[in-house]
A and B are shown apart, each in its own frame.
Chain A
Amino acid sequence: MYQYDKYDQSMVDARVAEFRDQVQRRLAGEITEDQFKPLRLKNGLYLQLHAYMLRVAVPYGTLSSRQMRLLGDIADKYDRGYGHFTTRQNIQYNWIKLEDAPDILADLASVEMHAIQTSGNCIRNTTSDQFAGAAADELVDPRPYAELLRQWSTFHPEFDYLPRKFKIAMIGSETDRAAMKLHDIGIQLVKNDAGEIGCKFYVGGGMGRTPMIAPVIGDFVPPLQMISYLEACLRVYNRYGRRDNKYKARIKILVHEIGADEYRRQVEEEFAHILTLGLEPPAAELERIKGFFEQPGFDANASEDLDLSDPDFALWVDQNTHAHKQAGYTIVNISLKPTGGIPGDASADQIRLMADLALEYSFDELRVTHAQNIVLPHVRKADLYTIWQKLDEAGLANANLDLISDIIACPGLDYCALANARSIPVAQKISERFADLGRQRELGELKLKISGCINACGHHHAGHIGILGVDRKGVENYQLSFGGSEGADTSLGTITGPGFNEDGVVDAVEKATDVYLAQRTEGERFLDTYRRIGMAPFKEAIYAKETVNG
């Protein structure tokens, strides 16, 4: 894992001091709430429905046990004993007091963490593949590049007041586990025929009210020009992105309106100029960072054997582990989606337990996933049963990864000032309706995502089944969509038709799964069946009038 040197540490320390001063000036009435708002937002502090919410950055989703433990302690000390892991691989606390915020930032800085640029119209925390450095299918480890990007984007003076927020995702595998094409910029590390590494730039994707899949803008940018290319992409956006309407201000609208070819032309022109300025960190800096991401000391003789005689354990192994590149090791996914629970929530005790497990069994590393789960990336198969038992005792052994109850949901109207409808109760009801694990496994991979408003924080556009909460004349109403996906086959969901009330949407989801079970052919997932047979059979089932008795 990356470790701060004196420079990195002094930058976060300076940030804590700056924010402490800003909070004091606000509390003393020297600056208005209007002037304070962008300053607190750039430190991840939102004013929500009931309290302040603090969003803490987890750079490219990677945590050490020491950091994870502190996140648990913060939940106890400053919140109500819970943390909420988000779709941007961050963690949020929902019950924060303004006057405590500088102290929390100081606590975070003590373990090389921060809340810098987790909100505001600036470059946000870079996300990445939660299996980086571990997955069997990895081409290039994206983490050193993501760290280079973290440093470049931190307090970037030119791009602190962009037209709108800016999210970058970075991956190094053929399989996209980071919804890369649905970001303002997605960077995929690829190799050419000569075996050289390049950055493939997808620019102008996003969800929100106008979902778009990013087109390729840069085919093969040399890694030692990545920062310069980013400068060019951002400068064109900062200068020409729309500022007349915040709903049309994301880069996807600019790229869409002028066209990918014209945007590319402008970027290339700017890029040629920027290359003359010498802004790019040298190769030695990338090499220095790479040194922190050396492969851990795996046991070359680790056994592949696994005793699967305990059926519950066998189910969990089958559902929640993923192939590791090292023989005898596996990747463990800890589901934060218990039946009836709040997706992504973990108690302080659960957070600390996961930290302990990482320290003892996973080379001191954890990852947060954009699906709001936690990963232990490097686990010996020989330790799996012990880990599973400890997780089970803590209520963390839900064997539902990528099943219908592994729901992504935004905080919704229970917390969020922007929401039109509640998301959490819908997620809870669906997970209760499908509580039977055998039934869930029968349905197979089924990604269900819920947003409580059109901003789409719950990624509903990318759900095999998506649910969008809207306000219809003061009543919560839920629109249903099918056919979204976020991987290599990224697609946007299609709305089924009129919306439902809370119970009605749960019923409609169940009817849709019945259609799938009746229509699927060998090996088809829900998404595949939908793509093959189309919306009509589903629509017919979910909108059929109940037949009256007799």
Chain B
Amino acid sequence: MVEQTLRYRNDEPVNDPAVTFAAFADQSNATAVRIEPGEDARVLLPHLDRLALVEVNFPTYGDGRGYSAARILREHGYAGELRAVGDVLLDQLSHMRRCGFDSFAPQQPIAAEAAEKAFATWPDVYQKTVDGRPAIWAKRHSA
């Protein structure tokens, strides 16, 4: 199977292999880390400035802990690449993007055009999150 990454960033991809969450603590030069559903993204907060890539693994699409992990990282100013990996499906892409993911490495390849269509599903959004889109309430009261 061909490794596929859908990437929505302008900078150069990071080539460093992502180390495990446990190994990250001991490797002061690691710039890429991979977190699993049960791991606390907040542990990474003191190290955000040296991180260029965080992979968040979704072993099954139904385990939604990674959405919170992504948002927490972005809410605390993480600006590097945030990649959803694993059981990442077309119908989850738009919510993942809203939670701050900007690259996707799905187990089952997703066509780039289908992904674009998925991101355009919602003309507007009801909540303010970390993706910069104005919430509907903000648009209603912007005048």
Instruction: Report A's interface with B, CB cutoff 8 A.
Output: 5, 7-8, 10-11, 14, 18, 22, 35, 38-39, 121, 151-152, 154-163, 235, 238-239, 243, 273, 277-279, 281-282, 284-285, 288
A412 to B62, CA, bound (A): 27
- B41 nearest in chain A by CB position: A239
Q: Which of B64, B71, B135, B137 contacts A162 (CB 8 A)?
A: B64
* B137→A158 contact, CB < 8 A: no
Nearest chain B CB to A276's CB is how many angstroms away?
Answer: 9
Q: Which residues of B contact A151 (CB under 8 A)?
A: 126, 136-137
* A121→B65 contact, CB < 8 A: no
* B129→A281 contact, CB < 8 A: no
Q: Which residues of A contact B62 (CB under 8 A)?
A: 38, 121, 161
Q: Which residues of B contact A155 (CB under 8 A)?
A: 95, 122, 125-126
* B64→A152 contact, CB < 8 A: no
Nearest chain B CB to A274's CB is how many angstroms away?
Answer: 8
* B123→A14 contact, CB < 8 A: yes
- A281 nearest in chain B by CB position: B137
Q: Which of A11, A160, A163, A282 contacts B141 (CB 8 A)?
A: A282
A156 to B37, CA, bound (A): 19
9 closest residue pairs by CB, A with B: A161-B64, A157-B98, A157-B95, A281-B137, A285-B137, A7-B136, A158-B67, A151-B126, A10-B123
Instruction: Report B's interface with A, CB cutoff 8 A.
Output: 37, 40, 61-65, 67-69, 71, 75, 89, 91-92, 94-96, 98-99, 121-129, 135-137, 139-141
Q: Which of A5, A14, A243 contacts B140 (CB 8 A)?
A: A5
A154 to B141, CA, bound (A): 19
Can you sample 6 A-B contacts with CB below 8 Å?
A11-B122, A38-B61, A151-B137, A157-B94, A157-B125, A243-B65
A297 to B89, CA, bound (A): 51
* B89→A35 contact, CB < 8 A: yes
* A160→B67 contact, CB < 8 A: yes
A277 to B92, CA, bound (A): 24
Given contacts A22-B91, A235-B68, contact A157 B129 (CB under 8 A): yes
Interface centre among A10, A155, A157 (most CB of B within 10 A): A157
Given contacts A284-B141, A285-B137, A288-B140, contact A239 B126 (CB under 8 A): no
Q: Which residues of A contact B65 (CB under 8 A)?
A: 238-239, 243
A14 to B128, CA, bound (A): 19
Q: Which residues of A contact B121 (CB under 8 A)?
A: 14, 18
Nearest chain B CB to A150's CB is how many angstroms away?
Answer: 9
- B121 nearest in chain A by CB position: A18
Q: Which of A11, A14, A158, A161 contacts B71 (CB 8 A)?
A: A158
* A159→B126 contact, CB < 8 A: no
Interface centre among A39, A155, A239 (most CB of B within 10 A): A239
Q: Which residues of A contact B139 (CB under 8 A)?
A: 7
Nearest chain A CB to B90's CB is how many angstroms away?
Answer: 8
Q: Which residues of B contact A238 (CB under 8 A)?
A: 64-65, 67-68
* B140→A285 contact, CB < 8 A: yes
Nearest chain A CB to B82's CB is how many angstroms away?
Answer: 14
Given contacts A5-B140, A273-B75, contact A279 B95 (CB under 8 A): no
A285 to B138, CA, bound (A): 9
Q: Which residues of B contact A163 (CB under 8 A)?
A: 64
* A39→B67 contact, CB < 8 A: no
Q: Which of B89, B99, B126, B136 contacts A158 (CB 8 A)?
A: B99
Q: Which residues of B contact A10 (CB under 8 A)?
A: 123-124
Nearest chain A CB to B44's CB is how many angstroms away?
Answer: 14
* B68→A161 contact, CB < 8 A: no
Q: Which residues of B contact A279 (CB under 8 A)?
A: 127-128
Nearest chain A CB to B92's CB is how many angstroms away?
Answer: 8
A5 to B126, CA, bound (A): 13
Given contacts A35-B89, A160-B64, contact A154 B126 (CB under 8 A): yes
Given contacts A160-B95, A161-B61, A238-B65, contact A14 B137 (CB under 8 A): no
Q: Which residues of B contact A156 (CB under 8 A)?
A: 126-127
- A236 nearest in chain B by CB position: B68
* B123→A158 contact, CB < 8 A: no
A281 to B128, CA, bound (A): 9
A14 to B119, CA, bound (A): 12
Nearest chain B CB to A169's CB is how many angstroms away?
Answer: 20
Q: Which residues of B contact A22 (CB under 8 A)?
A: 91
* A39→B64 contact, CB < 8 A: no
- B62 nearest in chain A by CB position: A161
Interface centre among A121, A161, A278 (most CB of B within 10 A): A161
- A234 nearest in chain B by CB position: B68
Nearest chain B CB to A156's CB is how many angstroms away?
Answer: 6
Nearest chain A CB to B85's CB is how many angstroms away?
Answer: 16
* A243→B63 contact, CB < 8 A: yes
**Known A11-B124, A162-B64, A285-B141; further 16 A-B contacts with Cβ < 8 A:** A7-B139, A14-B123, A18-B121, A22-B91, A35-B61, A38-B61, A39-B91, A155-B126, A157-B125, A158-B67, A160-B64, A238-B68, A239-B68, A273-B75, A282-B141, A285-B140
- A42 nearest in chain B by CB position: B91
Q: Which of B64, B69, B122 contacts A159 (CB 8 A)?
A: B64
